[in-house]
């Protein structure tokens, strides 16, 4: 059975709380998962973030979810995205295994953070792939991402309009997987979301 444990590790604003989900076989990669907006109740226990972690565990990855600064047992306070990217980079540095591929994933605001962290990593430390679910393309400046990034968005998203993500993706000729009828939080469709990640991950 996969195991799950909580830990804290040192970060740029103090302790960072993490949950590590480990597959029962030796992991074939490490996935860091970023949660939605802290000021709107986002935590590492968010159901979409947890679904992303479960998808990566099914794929054989060790999944690490972090609470951004000021959330849960993580110290510090909200930093408008900048510090949250730094927190993510600190967790990547602590948990990455040079012998294993790194994946980054994020939901909503966490999609913005994951894409920023990926852009800031040196070329020889880039993730093998990115998964962005309902990325915050309307309120944040989400950078361009690699062509093989898996982007999943709900057709009926009332937090981040699908049109905003399509506008962001269009200039990159980046495909977007649209889930018909799904809202921002994929209520009732989390099993489908997990399946889309597992099927769509090609690394």
Q: Which CATH architecture has domain 3-200?
A: 3-Layer(aba) Sandwich (3.40)
- Give the phi and the psi of residue 49 in degrees, each rounded to 5: -60, -40
- Average pLDDT of 199-203? 93
- Average pLDDT of 109-119? 98
Give how far Cα 86 sits from Cα of 43, 148, 163, Å.
17, 24, 29
What's the pLDDT score for residue 171? 95
Q: Above 80 in pLDDT, residue 130?
A: yes
pTM: 0.98
What's the pLDDT score for residue 1? 73
Take residue 56 and report the two structure tokens written for it.
């990566």
Give the rounded percent of residues in the chain with a pLDDT score beyond 90: 98
| Distance of alpha carbon 1 from alpha carbon 184, whole angstroms | 30
* Mean pLDDT rounded to a whole number for the chain: 97
- Average pLDDT of 42-65? 98
| Distance of alpha carbon 65 from alpha carbon 39, whole angstroms | 18
- Average pLDDT of 172-184? 98
Domain residue ranges in the chain: 3-200
Q: Above 80 in pLDDT, residue 155?
A: yes
Q: Above 80 in pLDDT, residue 2?
A: no
């Amino acid at each position: 059975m996969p195991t799950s444990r909580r830990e804290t590790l040192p970060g740029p604003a103090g302790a960072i709380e993490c949950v590590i989900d480990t597959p029962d076989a030796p992991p074939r990669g490490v996935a860091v998962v970023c949660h939605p907006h802290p000021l709107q109740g986002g935590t590492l226990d968010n159901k979409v973030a947890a679904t992303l972690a479960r998808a990566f565990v099914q794929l054989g990855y060790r999944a690490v979810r972090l609470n951004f600064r000021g959330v849960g047992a993580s110290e510090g306070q909200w930093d408008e995205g900048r510090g949250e990217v730094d927190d993510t980079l600190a967790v990547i540095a602590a948990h990455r295994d040079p012998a294993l591929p790194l994946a980054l994933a994020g939901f909503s605001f966490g999609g913005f953070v994951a894409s920023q962290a990926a852009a800031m990593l040196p070329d020889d430390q880039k993730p093998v792939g990115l998964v962005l679910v309902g990325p915050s393309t309307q309120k944040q400046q989400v950078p361009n991402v690699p062509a093989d990034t898996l982007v999943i968005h709900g057709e009926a998203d009332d937090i981040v309009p699908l049109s905003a993500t399509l506008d962001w993706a269009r200039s990159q000729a980046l495909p977007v997987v649209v889930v018909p009828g799904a809202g921002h939080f994929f209520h009732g469709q989390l099993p489908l979301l997990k399946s889309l990640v597992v099927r769509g991950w090609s690394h």
